[in-house]
């Protein structure tokens, strides 16, 4: 991770050969490693991937409303999906991390992996042009894009629970972290969802606080009869 990675092997995996390998190296450099890091490339890559996926959805789901398109795009560009792509390329093995991040398993952390994918996208854009970058993004996302349909636009559990409570003028739920187990790089979160006005409390477990909160909200929706078990 902190040693010189084999960039040729990585470039074969991602399917793009850099004219300037220094751009790829910068895309793999986390802020914990150097002041010269991938944060600016991440900013650029985030905008590009959102644009590319948005255009694809606009062209391929011509009957979808704006809200449907937004939710489909959110599903594609969320951190979980980007981290999955990073793992497919074994990107974590090439990251340059500071000693603290290295010891805590930062090369496996979802947020760092997702940011690195966006940084590589930004680097490809600077190394080539928009259309070349677009081709790469669509190829990386192709298996997931082909599986999409309008049934995938359902709002997440926390949003549905919030809207259900607001429509009945009930107070919003309160999420509390009950406990966190495991090492820093492999944690399990236990979260409760408290509905004060309904005297209900549900729980959720996940490998991140966000996932655990979604599970707790889903359980609350089932208790309220909004969703079937």
pLDDT at 115: 95
Query: pLDDT tens for residues 122-138?
Result: 999 999 999 999 999 99
Catalytic residues, which ones? 46, 118
Average pLDDT, the chain: 89
- Which CATH number describes the domain made up of 7-153? 1.10.1520.10
Nearest alpha-carbon partner for 38 in 51, 21, 49, 25:
25
Which fold is adopted by the domain 158-223?
Double Stranded RNA Binding Domain (3.30.160)
Burial class (CB in 10 A: 0-12, 13-18, 19+), 129: exposed
Which ranges in 78-129 belong to alpha helices (H)? 79-88, 99-103, 110-127
Nearest alpha-carbon partner for 13 in 72, 81, 75, 94:
94
List the structure tokens of 12: 């074969």
* Residue 209 pLDDT class (50, 70, 90 cuts): confident
Query: Could you tell me how far CA 149 lies from the centroid of its own chain?
Result: 19
Say which residue, 31 or 226, is predicted with more confidence.
Answer: 31
pLDDT at 11 over 80: yes
Share of the chain above pLDDT 70, in %: 93
* Residue 102 pLDDT class (50, 70, 90 cuts): confident
Mean pLDDT score, 61-77:
87
pLDDT at 207: 83
* Residue 3 pLDDT class (50, 70, 90 cuts): very low
pLDDT at 1 over 50: no
Extract the annotated binding site for Mg(2+): 42, 115, 118
User: Residue ranges of the domains in the chain?
Assistant: 7-153, 158-223
Mean pLDDT score, 218-227:
85
Contact 138, 60 (CB under 8 A): no
* Residue 75 pLDDT class (50, 70, 90 cuts): confident
Residue pointed to by tokens 């889903």: 218
Which ranges in 130-208 belong to alpha helices (H)? 130-146, 157-167
* Residue 2 pLDDT class (50, 70, 90 cuts): very low
Contact 24, 16 (CB under 8 A): no
Burial class (CB in 10 A: 0-12, 13-18, 19+), 79: middle
Give the Cα separation of 103 and 113 in Å (integer). Answer: 16
Give the Cα separation of 159 and 139 in Å (integer). Answer: 31
Extract the annotated binding site: 42, 115, 118
pLDDT at 229 over 60: no
Query: pLDDT tens for residues 135-157?
Result: 999 999 998 998 887 665 556 78
Q: Rounded to whole angstroms, what are the CA distances from 184 to 10, 113, 207?
A: 27, 15, 11
Mean pLDDT score, 61-68:
87
Half-sphere exposure of 220 (CA within 13 A, CB side): 33
Q: Residue 55: CB partners within 8 Å, gap ≥ 6? A: none
């Amino acid at each position: 991770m902190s040693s010189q990675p084999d960039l040729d092997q990585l470039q074969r995996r991602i399917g793009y050969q850099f004219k300037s390998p220094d751009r790829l190296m910068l895309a793999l450099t986390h802020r914990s490693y150097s002041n010269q890091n991938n944060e600016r490339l991440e900013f650029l890559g985030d905008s590009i991937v959102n644009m590319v996926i948005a255009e694809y959805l606009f062209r391929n789901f011509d009957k979808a409303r704006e809200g449907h398109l937004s939710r489909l795009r959110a599903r594609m560009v969320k951190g979980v999906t980007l981290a999955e792509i990073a793992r497919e390329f074994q990107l974590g093995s090439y990251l340059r991390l500071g000693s603290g991040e290295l010891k805590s398993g930062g090369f496996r952390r979802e947020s760092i992996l997702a940011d690195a994918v966006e940084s590589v996208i930004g680097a490809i854009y600077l190394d080539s042009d928009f259309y070349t970058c677009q081709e790469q993004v669509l190829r990386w996302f192709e298996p997931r894009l082909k599986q999409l349909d309008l049934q995938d636009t359902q709002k997440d559990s926390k949003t549905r629970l919030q809207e259900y409570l607001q429509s009945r003028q009930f107070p919003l739920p309160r999420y509390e972290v009950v406990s966190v187990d495991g090492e820093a790089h492999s944690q399990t979160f236990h979260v409760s969802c408290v509905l004060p006005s309904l005297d209900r409390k549900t729980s959720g477990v996940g490998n991140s606080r966000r996932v655990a909160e979604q599970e707790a909200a889903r359980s609350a929706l089932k208790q309220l009869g909004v969703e079937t078990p």
